[in-house]
Amino acid sequence: MKDTFKKILNHRMSALAIAAFCAAAAPATINAVSGPNRASYETGNPPAYAVFNSMSNNFNYNSNETDFVQACVVGTASDPNGHYANLPACNISAPMSNGWTTQAGGNTITVEDGKQYFVRVYVHNNGWNPLDQSTVVAHGVNSSVNGWASGFNTSYTLTGNVGWTYDSTHPNTQNPGLNLVQDDITFTSAGNRPFELTYVPGSAYYYTLNQSGGAFRTGVQLPDAAVTGTGTPLGYTALDGNIPGCFEYSGYMLMLVQVEMEPEPCPWNPELPIDDPGCYEPCPLDPELPIDDPGCVEPEPCPYNPELLPDDPNCYPPCPSNPNLPADSPDCKEPELPVLPVTGTIPAVIGMGGLGGAAAITTAIALRRKRK
């Protein structure tokens, strides 16, 4: 079967080339990204004991190996090994290019809603003993990623751990007892918008960089304990915790994380997310109805009092003689006409005019004559 991952990593090295970079140790001090600060080694001067990710000039990697945890957004290229729908948008073996986060960049990546990201943990046993390589084989090698938090947060800092069993028979003369190295990667969002970062179950795989690693060259699935528990054993040809020293036995642990932004709050009810069915602009007439509900219609005003609605008890035609009473009230009566006195002059008849007024005047004259 065509070794596609071999093409991606492109780490073919001869035994002579490997030996040229694995010689006597001459350590200096290296300031680790996360910890601990420890002795550093160069490709031409590796240690004669097992220790991980402490090279200061790894030509295969990113110079300073203490920066061994990075992240990159998922790309569009499909995974020929079938482990992922798509590979990282970054070259897997070249963290300085195509978007992998770096120590120089603060080891921070700004995420976007709904996207997935790869987290990568580099694993390299720096030990080399040309007289007896068995003395630098690391045992009990274990790796994990922790720092997960539940709910929505404005940032997440994940810590990658590479641990091993300290070999007192071949001790670390520079950092006695050292058996764990760590590095961090921080995920943030634009505008500090809260988001949720979760591990994608089943997405953790381990790859070795040399063809002799067999199936490990194209990736071996790791249990979810790599992120959800205390960690998982790594290895070279089996997940047995044993990794020999030098470049050809190095590898990567890859996994996917998912980003989901916290929904915007409902502008009419901040306790609800904006996509909640109960988030709507309320009808001013009935807050239980959305404003676009067919039942949310402004009724015609009371024809007798525009400030009232038609079904208001005080909406009625007023009594002409008493506006405080309805027109159909038993107490609503027509006002009586005043009785006019009969005098020597003809009084004006209040409230009458036209023919009705003339008739009243004629009647008044006739009554006066009759009395005489």
Per-residue model confidence as pLDDT tens digits over 157-183? 999 999 999 999 999 999 999 999 999
Is the bond leading into 263 cis (omega within 30 degrees of zero)? no
Q: Over 90: is that where the pLDDT of 294 sits?
A: no
Q: Over 80: is that where the pLDDT of 25 sits?
A: no
Compute the distance between CA of residue 296 and CA of residue 159 in angstroms, rounded to an integer.
55
Mean pLDDT of 108-116: 95
Q: Over 60: is that where the pLDDT of 55 sits?
A: yes
Alpha helix stretches (DSSP H) within the chain: 4-9, 15-20, 225-228, 354-371
Please tell me the predicted confidence (pLDDT) of residue 32.
Answer: 46
Burial level of 177, CB count in 10 A (0-12/13-18/19+)? exposed
Read off the DSSP letter of residue 62.
T
- Its sign, for the CA torsion 66, 69, 71, 72, is positive
Task: Identify whether the C-beta of residue 9 lies closer than 8 Å to the C-beta of residue 156.
Answer: no
First to last CA, the chain: 145
Tokens describing residue 349: 């008849």
Task: Identify whether the C-beta of residue 124 lies closer than 8 Å to the C-beta of residue 65.
Answer: yes
338-369: pLDDT as tens digits: 776 666 555 554 444 445 555 555 555 555 55
Q: Over 50: is that where the pLDDT of 81 sits?
A: yes
Please tell me the predicted confidence (pLDDT) of residue 109.
Answer: 93
Range of lowest pLDDT (11-15, 22-26, 141-145, 196-200): 11-15
Please tell me the predicted confidence (pLDDT) of residue 323.
Answer: 85
Q: Over 70: is that where the pLDDT of 147 sits?
A: yes
Long-range Cβ contact pairs of 188-191 (< 8 A, separation 24 or more): 188/108, 188/109, 188/110, 188/111, 188/154, 188/155, 189/110, 189/111, 189/154, 189/155, 189/261, 190/110
Please tell me the predicted confidence (pLDDT) of residue 90.
Answer: 85
Q: Which helix (H) or strand (E) holds 155?
A: strand 155-163
Q: Over 90: is that where the pLDDT of 195 sits?
A: yes
Compute the distance between CA of residue 186 and CA of residue 338 in angstroms, rounded to an integer.
97
**Residue the block writes with tokens 């009084």:** 347
Which amino acid is it at 242?
A: N
Mean pLDDT of 195-224: 87
247-269: pLDDT as tens digits: 889 999 999 999 999 988 888 88
Does this model's pTM top 0.85? My answer is no
**Residue the block writes with tokens 């492109």:** 10
Q: Which of 230, 232, 231, 236 is nearest to 251 (CA)?
A: 236
Question: What is residue 211's three-state secondary structure?
Answer: helix
Please tell me the predicted confidence (pLDDT) of residue 31.
Answer: 47
In sequence order, which residues have a C-beta less than 8 Å from that of residue 20 and are 6 or more positions away? 44
Q: Over 50: is that where the pLDDT of 63 sits?
A: yes
